[in-house]
Amino acid sequence: MRIRLAMVALLLAGPVAAPAQMESAQVEIRAHAFSAPSVTVKAGTTVTWINHDDDTHTVTSTANAFRSPGLDTDETFSFIFTQPGTYEYYCTLHPLMTGKVVVTPPERSGT
C-alpha cells in the first residue's frame, strides 16, 4: 500500500525539471584583436577569453563590470553574465582592442 501511495504522489507531483545547463562562449585573442567583435549570449552564460597572442592583454569592462589581470600567452579569464545588457570591453594595454558582449534575458520555461 505504501508503494502505491508513493507512486501516486510522484504522479501527482508532475514532471521534474531537469537541472539548468550551463551555457558558455569563448573569445580568442590573436594578433592584437578579439576574435569576435560582438558576442550575443543568454543571461547566466560564462564567457571565457583566452590569449593566444605573444603579448600580454587584459579584458576590461568600460563600465567596471569586470576586469581581468594581465593575461599571458594561453591564459584565460572568465566572467558569468547574469544581467541582460550590453557590456563593452577593451584591453587596457592596447586600447584599440575592443569588443562587446550582448546579454539577452534567459529563456523562460512554458507555464
46 Cβ contact partners less than 8 Å away, ≥ 6 residues apart: 22, 23, 24, 25, 78, 79, 80, 81
pLDDT tens profile 86-110: 999 999 999 999 999 999 998 876 6
Looking up residue 48, the CATH number of its domain turns out to be 2.60.40.420
In a domain, 91, yes or no: yes
As for how many domains the chain has, the answer is 1
Answer whether residue 30 is part of any domain.
yes
Task: Report the pLDDT averaged over residues 32-60.
Answer: 97
Q: Is residue 13 part of a domain?
A: no
pTM for the structure as a whole: 0.78
* Residue 69: domain span: 21-104
Report how far apart the first and last C-alpha atoms of the chain are (Å, whole number).
33
The answer as to whether 55 is a domain residue is yes
